[in-house]
Amino acid sequence: MTDDASTPILTRDGAVATLRLNRPRHLNRIEPPDLAAIAVALREVDADPAIRVMVFTGTGRAFSAGYHLGDLAERSDAAVTTGGPELSFEDVGLLLENCRVPTICRLNGGVYGGSTDLALCCDFRIGIDSMEMFMPAARLGIHYYPSGMVRYASRLGLNAAKRLFLTADKLTAPELLAIGYLTQMQTAETLDAAVAALAERLAAMAPLAVQGMKRALNEIARGEFDAAGCAARAKASQASEDVKEGLAAYREKRAPVFRGR
């Protein structure tokens, strides 16, 4: 087998960007150089107004095996939590959660460790029915970083978060759908069509409204709601060309064409 592994790859197709983890031989484990590559890709997406949706996925039979445990074993000071001089895993999660555009995690296979949180950072998670997930932090003696625990509890509820963190239980796709970890469960054959359909739907919505509401909803989930900022974005949206187009399209019974302004 040829090892053509690389840092994550960002591609674009119209309004949809795709960020793909690319270490299939090692189940797309995330190594220190990958953190910087993911951060660069996310900043590129944020800076390009033509991009309206981002899909996050992996190469091969797994989404990701999580952060490279060898690095943690060799470096007790490896950057995991935010606040230090080195880009941390937590920093990258925050960048992904706060990405300007809606994000879809295409879970092409199993997701483990820290990558379970990267999937939660995305706005939607579509996974195959044979996938599994587990968070082995307690089994490894690792105390998880703060923002990841907030995400787990706010998105999945306290009971599910405690089960996943404290017992290291392995959950199957139907269980993940039941607790809200998966937005949709698909077969391997229908996965791409489902992801494409959701991406197309999101890309067709008014960008200013979608991006502003995404930001507000994430703030609410974290308990950090900026009501004044939300009100300002709502007011700006009301005065936008997109509102005029949306209302005109509704009256004329046609699909709107939004420009993001």
Has residue 164 been placed in a domain?
yes
pLDDT at residue 82, as a whole number: 59
Number of domains in the chain: 2
Q: Which amino acid is at 162?
A: K
What pLDDT was estimated at residue 55? 98
Domain boundary (203, 219, 241) is at 203
Contacts with 143 (C-beta within 8 Å, 6 or more apart), sequence order: 137
Model pLDDT for residues 10-38, shown as the tens digit of each residue: 999 999 999 999 999 999 999 999 999 99
The CATH number of whichever domain residue 43 belongs to comes to 3.90.226.10
Residues 174, 65 share a domain = yes
Tokens 């997406």 -> residue = 45
Please report whether residue 33 resides in a domain. yes
Q: For the chain, first and last CA: distance in Å?
A: 49
Radius of gyration of the chain (CA): 19
CB 165 within 8 A of CB 138: yes
Is 175 found in the same domain as 100?
Answer: yes
* 158 and 232 housed in the same domain: no
142 and 221 within one domain:
no
Helix 241-252, helix 207-222: angle, nearest 10: 110
The answer to whether residue 240 sits within a structural domain is: yes
Same domain for 234 and 146, yes or no, is no
Q: Please give the helix or strand (H or E) that residue 239 lies within, else none.
A: none
Q: What is the pLDDT of residue 1?
A: 38
For residues 110 and 227, state if they share a domain.
Answer: no
Both structure tokens of 199: 């991406």
101 phi-psi bin (left φ>0, alpha ψ -120 to 50, beta other): beta
Task: Identify whether 259 is part of a domain.
Answer: no
- Would you give per-residue pLDDT tens digits along the chain (261 residues)? 345 789 999 999 999 999 999 999 999 999 999 999 999 999 999 999 999 999 999 999 999 999 987 666 565 555 566 556 689 999 999 999 999 999 999 999 999 999 999 999 999 999 999 999 999 999 999 899 999 999 999 999 999 999 999 999 999 999 999 999 999 999 999 999 999 999 999 999 999 999 999 999 999 999 999 999 999 999 998 899 999 999 999 999 999 999 988
Pair 73, 61 in one domain: yes
Same domain, 187 and 214: no
Q: How many residues does the chain have?
A: 261
Token code pair at residue 10: 């960002």
Of 203, 222, 244, the domain-final residue: 203
> Tens digits of per-residue pLDDT, 147-164?
999 999 999 999 999 999
Instruction: Please classify residue 46 by burial: count the beta carbons closer than 10 Å to its beta carbon, then call 0-12 exposed, 13-18 middle and 19+ buried.
Output: middle
Q: Which residue matches tokens 């996938």?
A: 131
257 within some domain: no
Residue labelled with tokens 């299939």: 24
Instruction: Report if residue 18 sits inside a domain.
Output: yes
Residue pair 135/110 in contact (Cβ under 8 Å)? The answer is: no
Is the domain of 130 the same as that of 145?
yes
> Whole-angstrom Cα distance, residue 62 to residue 95?
23
pLDDT of residue 2: 43
In contact, 55 and 199? CB cutoff 8 Å: yes
Distance from C-alpha of 184 to C-alpha of 187, rounded to nearest angstrom: 10
35 in a structural domain: yes
Which residue, 74, 64, 78, 71, is CA-closest to 19? 64
Q: Does 19 share its domain with 132? A: yes
Residue 121's domain spans which residues?
9-203
- Separation of alpha carbons 136 and 151, rounded Å: 17
Task: Tell whether 85 and 142 lie within a shared domain.
Answer: yes
DSSP per-residue codes, 86-140: S--HHHHHHHHHT-SS-EEEEE-SEEETTHHHHHHHSSEEEEETT-EEE--HHHH
Whether residue 218 sits in one domain with residue 194: no
The answer to whether position 260 is within a domain reads no
